[in-house]
Amino acid sequence: SQCTCSESCLLSEDQFLCSICLDVFTDPVSTPCGHNFCKTCITQHWDVNIPYQCPMCKEVFYRRPELRVNTFISEMAAQFRKSSQKKASSRSDQPCAKPGEVPCDVCTGTKLKALKSCLVCLASYCETHLEPHQRITGLKSHQLIDPVENMEGRMCKKHDKPLELFCKTDQMCVCLLCTASDHKSHDIVPLKEEYEGKKAELGKTEAEIQQMIQKRRVTIQEIKRSVELSREDADREITDSVRVFTALMQSVERGQAELIGMIEEKQKTTEKQAEGFIKELQQEISELMRRSTEVEQLSHTEDHLHLLQSLPSLSAPPHTKNWTEVRVHRSSYEGSVRRAVAQLEETLSKEMKKLCADLELKRVQHFEVDVTLDPDTAQSYLILSDDGKQVNNGEVKKNLPDNPKRFSHCPCVLGKQSVSSGRFYYEVQVKGKTDWDLGVARESINRKGNISLSPKNGYWTIWLRNENEYKALADSPVRLSLKSQPQKVGVFVDYEEGLVSFYDVDAAALIYSYSGCSFTEKLHPYFSPDLNHGGKNSNPLIICPVNHTN
């Protein structure tokens, strides 16, 4: 049977309050109509209010009733006052119900925060009013849960019984009577059993949600890191671009200064030539003016002998230059400018190509990866250094286990590191070698027997043979014509772009690129120092740290 709060709790506070002073009774008395008041309160009320009327029910008494103290209520009020003081002391340490929190259903006045809700009593209790459920035997069996609101919603609306079972067939809460009617023959389990199962599922779901949240937080960090790296790349490329264009501007300024100097030098030559011509002309004018004066004087002389003796020298033509063919040369400037501009263009083109190549190399060098050789893949004739940075062919077979990763016939070894996304770069010293192979290879490549290096077989490589024969081992091999022999080779991979490029590091020159590749699995760095050739090719391949200061 259900238990009401009045059966498990003390009488409520309202039953011990005087309706006039609204405080606990003091010397309580009863009126003929059966209502109770403090003796002082009702006496003072009737002293000023005639006729004599009950303040509660308004019954009129034509004679003033004789009042006597109700000893039973007086004793109960005293006990209640004492209990109230004790409760007030304990309640003062309990928290009041805040908005959104479940209040105690029993508290009057200020509602305290409920500590538990009873699924049998369908009420919520604070710590004080929960005490009977912890003490009284009949109440101890009641099911207590964390405080919830709307306890009425936990009753079956059809049968007015607690919803203490769960129908797994219809996925709904039911009461005991429901199992004999609408849910007969259904899969019914105790509500607590289903609760525990669902709670476990929720725990698993919560773990999955937390895992999803964590993955997304990691993704956010990865995106932020990508933005940071992109910003670093952008800043680096801006700096490099400024350096390139500054160098080009300096070349233009040098060319301009040289052109101006050449024009000014030619102008000085022209001016010097003109000065010489003017000086000669002035000398000729002076001579002609002297002869003109002599002729004029002679024309007026009366001395026949003097005239005849002087006339032959004056009649002879003066020693002068034919100035009709003499010119100051001016047309040479335009041709000089054209030649200077053409020379500047050629210089700028060469410098631009060199600077762009240098800029491209520096860009890919920023994706440097610390590569080490994997001894489990090395053919048994190869000798690897302890730090995993050098490999050469020792021509003596070592007794090594033939595991699936090891090359059995060809003198090859892979790097431990692999890439399945993004970009990576490493450099290898090939100085002093007559033969070598370098590049990258798919993880699933065939490592047993003879190997054919080509992209269709999972290899993107270049090689050197006979000291100066370079090839890119594409599906159709490409002979490479290099201006200089590389002493250090850089290998760059952009996985998403499907790009594998090789660089002559010292010359900052691109050797060859495989583009438009389709990568679907991990790629490993690939090395082959080739055969020793009786000591002619004994130098090792050396994985070098990248020098970013070049």
Q: What is the CATH number of the domain that holds 534?
A: 2.60.120.920
Last residue of a domain, one of 46, 61, 88: 88
- 549 belongs to a structural domain: no
Residues 390 and 300 in one domain: no
Task: Specify the DSSP class assigned to residue 414.
Answer: E
DSSP per position, 338-351: HHHHHHHHHHHHHH
Q: Mark 382-414 as b/e (b = at least 16 C-beta within 10 Å).
A: bebeeebbbbbbeeeeeeeeeeeebbeebbbbb
Q: Locate 208 and state its tokens.
A: 């999955």
Confidence band of 428 (pLDDT split at 50, 70, 90):
very high
Last residue of a domain, one of 88, 116, 139: 88
Least confidently predicted of 165-174, 371-380, 453-462: 165-174
Among candidates 351, 350, 403, 344, which has minimal Cα distance to 379?
403
Residues 407 and 535 in one domain: yes
Residues 19-76: pLDDT tens digits?
Answer: 777 777 888 888 888 888 888 888 888 887 777 888 888 888 888 888 888 888 888 8
Question: How much is the mean pLDDT over the chain?
Answer: 84
pLDDT score of 473: 96
- 532 belongs to a structural domain: yes
Beta carbons within 10 angstroms of residue 362's beta carbon? 18
Last residue of a domain, one of 313, 328, 346: 313
| Phi and psi, residue 123, nearest 5° | -140, 160
Residues 305 and 414 in one domain: no
Residues 260-277: pLDDT tens digits?
Answer: 887 788 888 888 888 988
| Phi and psi, residue 446, nearest 5° | -75, 130
Task: Specify the DSSP class assigned to residue 446.
Answer: -
Average pLDDT over residues 6-17: 54
Domain that holds residue 46: 13-88
pLDDT score of 298: 77
Residues 393 and 500 in one domain: yes
Check whether the bond before 51 is cis (ω within 30° of 0): yes
Crossing angle of helices 332-365 and 191-299, in 10° steps, is: 160
Residues 400 and 284 in one domain: no
Number of structural domains in the chain: 3
- 345 belongs to a structural domain: no
Which residues touch 261 (CB under 8 Å, ≥6 apart)? none
DSSP 3-state of 67: coil
Q: Is pLDDT larger for residue 333 or for residue 235?
A: 235
- 181 belongs to a structural domain: no
- 74 belongs to a structural domain: yes
Residues 432 and 514 in one domain: yes
pLDDT score of 378: 96
- 368 belongs to a structural domain: no
The proportion of the chain whose per-residue pLDDT surpasses 70, expressed as a percent, equals 91
Confidence band of 8 (pLDDT split at 50, 70, 90):
very low
For 205-234, the three-class secondary structure string (H helix, E strand, C coil) is: HHHHHHHHHHHHHHHHHHHHHHHHHHHHHH
Task: Specify the DSSP class assigned to residue 387.
Answer: T
- Edge to edge, the sheet with strand 523-528 lists 413-414, 523-528, 436-442, 459-465, 469-472, 478-480
Confidence band of 360 (pLDDT split at 50, 70, 90):
confident
Residue 245 — left, alpha, or beta (φ > 0 → left; ψ -120 to 50 → alpha)? alpha
DSSP 3-state of 47: helix
pLDDT score of 1: 36
Residues 395 and 536 in one domain: yes
Average pLDDT over residues 344-350: 71
